[in-house]
Structure 1
Amino acid sequence: MKTSMKKWLAAALSASLLAGSAVAFAAANGEPASLDADTVEYDMGTGIITAEGNVLMKRGVARVAGATAQYNSKTQEGYVKGNVIAVREDMRMTCSELVSDGQEHMRATGNVHGTQQDKAFSGDQVDYFPQQNDYLLMEAGGVLSNADGTFTAARIEGWLKDEHYIGTGAAHLVSPTKNAEVGGDQMDYTKGVVVATGNAWAVQENNTMRANKLTVRLDQNGQAQVQ
């Protein structure tokens, strides 16, 4: 494809491609968009747009880069593959593949790592819903961390904007700053308050507590208050 045609096609279709492939990271409609890649192809019959080689998509505050990208303008489904880097405002995520179903939902797979301000998350698979207070779902488990410590479980869901996380299955919170650990079958963390249920336990220094339900409040002066 000639360079002039590639640039024209990229400019004409980048808004559509970003709406799908960049998925949740795409900004509101009407913002300037651009697409750069080594090659861009568009099949009018199927509605499929394919970009390959050094793909970089921009729209408003959103940036998505990868080795290849594809978007179906008819179904609004898309993906970006290969050393994916996605950035939107203060959210940054890296993974092997980023897939959109066109419904403000994105699934990242393959060594997923994300950061937002002082919060971080990682796992093999992360589903992300930015319109739901930055809701994350890690069905296969993962790690969440913030200023209070590190939270792990067999299954994790969380709302980053609300600082609310729920872990199910071998839930475990380690807080070096508070010199405390909390565990249980399930754990609900909301802005410094941890509620562990089912074989719940907490350790601070040489003190150990066990209960069916245990509430730990991580206060501002570095202590852990247990109920």
Structure 2
Amino acid sequence: MQTHHSLEILKKLTILYVEDEENIRDNITKVLKLMCNKIFTTSNGLDALNIFNENHIDIILSDINLPKMSGLEFVSKIREKGKRTPAILLSAYTDTPYLLHATKLKLVDYLVKPLDFSQLKEALIKASQEISDEGNFIIKLNNNTQYNISEKVVLKDGKSIKLTGKEIALIELLLKNRNHVVNTLEIKDVIWEDSYEATDSALKAVLNKLRNKIGKDAIKNISGIGYQIITS
């Protein structure tokens, strides 16, 4: 039961996967897409750090031996900023110095390549459980309002506020793409199965209802483009 719950959580998460060998990266990415919500990939540690700084990342999956910046250095820089994002490191190395350095980074797991898919799945489940246990599934929207992704409710001034199905689809789409503007057409495609119902007025009605629940200024309208959620 616990494993099933963790897999359900995993489906909502965003993973940053760093691997410099293209064939391995492509194959593992296909597997990750079956288990996770969104995947960012890159081939070096420096780009990985930039991606992490510019996007919401739930789990890091990184090789150690990378160009420009090693996986160990990449995760170290994140930890120096006080970020506790669950990280899983991959390596062909079993040498003690690497293991000792990795231990200091408070990793979810250290997996030896070639990768066993069952071990990868187990490590990802552990990471999602860690997120759930630490309450990282609750996203702060502003000073008095949060969104609980697991329960799909808004928490405001200590009270739980239920959302409609369309409001849940909208807020989770915007949160998945926080720090980015989501195109209006994409929003309509996600919220409505029937394109005939996806009118501008229908979208505004859902937006207004959601704003009333999470705060008038929580969702920003970028004229002619789309919408962006503002989080604390």
Compute the TM-score of the two structures, normalised by the length of structure 1. 0.26
**Larger-Rg structure:** 1
Instruction: Return the structure number with greater strand share.
Output: 1
Higher relative contact order, chain-length normalized (CA < 8 Å, sep 6+): 2
